[in-house]
Structure 1
Amino acid sequence: MGSISAYESARGRRYRGRWRDEAGRQHERRGFRTKREARAYISEIEIAMSGGRSALPREARITVDGLAADWLANKQQALKPSSFAPLMTAWRVYVAPRWATTAIGAIRPSAVEKWIRELGQGAAITDRVRQSYAGKPRSASVVFRAVGVLAGIIDVAVRDGRIRSNPARGVSNMPRRDVAARRPYLTDDEVFRFARCAPDSMRSTLILTLAYTGIRWGEAVALRVGDVDIPQRRLRVSRTATEVSGKIHIGAPKSWQARTVPFPAFLDSRIEELAANMDPSDLIFPSSTGGFLHRPDTAQNRQSWWLTALNDAGVQHLTPHALKHTAASLAVSAGANVKALQRILGHKSAAMTLDTYADLFEDDLSDVADRLNKRVLANVRLERRGGYE
């Protein structure tokens, strides 16, 4: 909706009208003698921009903003805070500035495709505060998430029968997805060098626990003394302390299911030392104030104990989550099969584990071929040219 305000001129009180075009850019016209004239002018502009919104069926006149609140609330209820936060950011920063006041029935595929192009070029209007982002092209992942939010909101209108089809589905110019960087896999020697450079024994043990159990950072810092079974060398992972915008949220693990994870014997004494004289409800890896340990800053050119330890150890830059990948790599090299790895990592299925870590099983393909060759040589007499008798 446009706005109208009064101002004083040499010829007396006049009115100005302000409105935003389809790209979100603000415009203004001055000199109206009455508020009614200004309002009528802005109404004409808005009708023209909406493609004749007043001619739309009543149920199609609802704006994107009118449906977004419930859609976001439903997502917040269904998702973990760490999964919901990126959706909320995409809505606030990219979707709302462009589409919030647009009628659902007035959205055209061509307008969505133009918006996608502008996002990719860095020309779309956004609500980014940091000037360093201004004019910069957005990555494919950012574009996919923003379009996904818009499409999800419009899906509600389609299901409710407000419109027949979703103009944000089936667009022709979605960017190619970003090429995933090669995962960093540390060797045993690199893991221990890194752990030795941690500022204290607790964080040293934390690094080793992450690298040799595959649990996530949030799962590790939520572990209590009662979750550790030293005789059986097991960790019971039943909750996670996820940090979102500096606030810790306690919830179920990512798979929504508790699991038991084994740990190697060399961690026995380290964990026993941390758990000594503590109650079952006490945290194994607490902060200096006794609360949950916050995730270290791992952005390039920042300061944190994690980055200092990496630098001192001469180990490549990596995040706490990357130690989960290292754990998978070390487990596979130790002979773990896919089903065991799935349980350790907390994946929903073995297929997910294979899809995620297919590169770790490349050697298995060569091993299969070698074993087949040995069996054939042992059981079949081969001719010189590869035939058989």
Structure 2
Amino acid sequence: MEDEVRCGRYVNPSDAKRKFKDVADMWLRSKNNVSEGVRARYECELRTYINPKWSNVPIGAIRHDDIARWVTELSTGNYPAKLHWKHNPKPLSPRSIKSIVKVVFAGVLDYAVKVRYLMENPARDVEIPKPEYKDLVFLDIREIEALADAAERVGRPVDGTIIRFQSYVGTRINETFALQVGDIDFEKRQIRVRRTWKNSAKAQRLGPPKSGRPRTVAFPKFLAQPLRELVKEQPETAYVFRAVKGGHINDHNWRRRIWRKAVQLAGLEDIEGLTPHSLRHSYAAIAITAGADVKILQRQMGHTSASLTLDIYGFLFPERLGQVADVIDAERTTAIVSKRD
């Protein structure tokens, strides 16, 4: 015991008897830098999926095998849960399981390790199903243009520009609606994404982008003219995409008034899972086809890392091993010929 104290490995056995729900409450209180929406998701996952299983379990009694079995239960729909309207549990997607197990559940146990209630986190090495991003919804350019034209007919010209902006720039919808006139540099055809609208139970409020840092994105030439029309004679702080009365556009209202009607008018209502976020995925697919590398795509889309970009869109990148071999062959030939000369 003395050796463990000196080496910083000592854990008070009574702390390992703390119930999971109590440590989870402490973990939530420690999350001072997350948005209201993220906090609400953490609380929902704890209440719905995690606490029904682990609420009264001492943190020191949680074992790797127990967590692995729970992951299987989440995958098959055979798990305890607190669901609304007496719904029965159903198999969860790999992305949901990742959030529940690796972000929230493991986050609570990480906190227990940090405050020395536990020596190690048994959830970190547990394997979870790999997310299948091939199920993402993409539109091709013809479908995008048909949708944009439909949005103009059911709404205003700005609604068509919103569709095209989402599809050919790739910002998140609430980043788009938070753009201000002063964020646009028409000479460089660049936009500084500094803020986004955060949704909460009470109202929308402005906050930093999802990554927590501003970023610069580029827009294609054809968008310059419609953007100039939108910002003409507007002050620097005016929103680029404005509601009828001049304020910012609420994404929930826009989906109800414009998006759903435009999808039907464009004949795209049979595409399952089509949402405004699908336009962001469509941008990624178009950019990759055009030759964008993973780092450029990461910067444009505001992902925290290139590995995240590859996790989501890696299957879209073409197989270029043969091209690399051909380039090496050409470089070698050029070097040998120039040496002989």
TM-score, length of structure 2 as denominator length: 0.77
Structure 1 runs of 4+ with >6 Å offset: 373-381
Task: Give the equivalent residue in structure 1 for 2:192.
Answer: 236
Residue 42 of structure 2 aligns to a residue in which SS? helix
1: CA distance, partners of 2:191 / 2:279? 17
Deviation digits for residues 121-165 of structure 1, max 9, x if unmatched?
43433221133x314233343334333333332333334343444
Deviation digits for residues 268-292 of structure 1, max 9, x if unmatched?
2211222233222111123345444
Alignment of 1:111-190 (within 5 A): 111-113=66-68, 115-131=70-86, 133-148=87-102, 149-171=104-126, 175-190=128-143
RMSD over equivalenced CA pairs, Å: 3.5
Task: Give the equivalent residue in structure 2 for 1:98.
Answer: 53
2: CA distance, partners of 1:135 / 1:248? 31
Alignment of 1:299-338 (within 5 A): 305-315=258-268, 316-317=271-272, 318-338=274-294
Tell me which of 290, 304, 314 is aligned to 1:358: 314
Task: Give the equivalent residue in structure 1 for 2:250.
Answer: 294
Task: Give the equivalent residue in structure 1 for 2:26.
Answer: 70
Contact in 1 for aligned 2:179/2:239 (Cα 8 Å): yes
Shifted more, 332-341 versus 272-281: the winner is 332-341
**Structure showing greater relative contact order (alpha-carbon pairs closer than 8 Å, 6 or more residues apart):** 2
Tell me which of 224, 227, 231 is aligned to 1:275: 231
Q: Percent identity?
A: 34
Please tell me the residue identity of whatever aligns with 2:182: G
Residue 362 of structure 1 aligns to a residue in which SS? coil
Contact in 1 for aligned 2:194/2:209 (Cα 8 Å): yes
Residue 206 of structure 2 aligns to a residue in which SS? strand
2: CA distance, partners of 1:157 / 1:375? 55
Residue 357 of structure 1 aligns to a residue in which SS? helix
Gaps of 5+ in 1: 1-55, 382-389
Please tell me the residue identity of whatever aligns with 1:141: R
Structure ranking higher in helix proportion:
2
Contact in 2 for aligned 1:243/1:295 (Cα 8 Å): no
Structure ranking higher in strand proportion:
1
Gaps of 5+ in 2: 1-11
Contact in 1 for aligned 2:139/2:278 (Cα 8 Å): no
Deviation digits for residues 185-220 of structure 1, max 9, x if unmatched?
433322211110102211111111111112221210
TM-score, length of structure 1 as denominator length: 0.69
Deviation digits for residues 298-335 of structure 1, max 9, x if unmatched?
9xxx9653133223223445222222232233334444
In structure 2, relative to structure 1, the CA distance for the partners of 1:367 and 1:313 (3 Å cut) is farther
Residue 280 of structure 1 aligns to a residue in which SS? coil
Confirm or deny that 1:211 pairs with 2:167: yes
Q: How many residues align?
A: 319
Contact in 1 for aligned 2:287/2:297 (Cα 8 Å): yes
2: CA distance, partners of 1:351 / 1:292? 34
Residue 210 of structure 2 aligns to a residue in which SS? coil
In structure 2, relative to structure 1, the CA distance for the partners of 1:165 and 1:181 (3 Å cut) is same
Please tell me the residue identity of whatever aligns with 1:208: R
Please tell me the residue identity of whatever aligns with 2:177: V
Task: Give the equivalent residue in structure 1 for 2:213.
Answer: 257
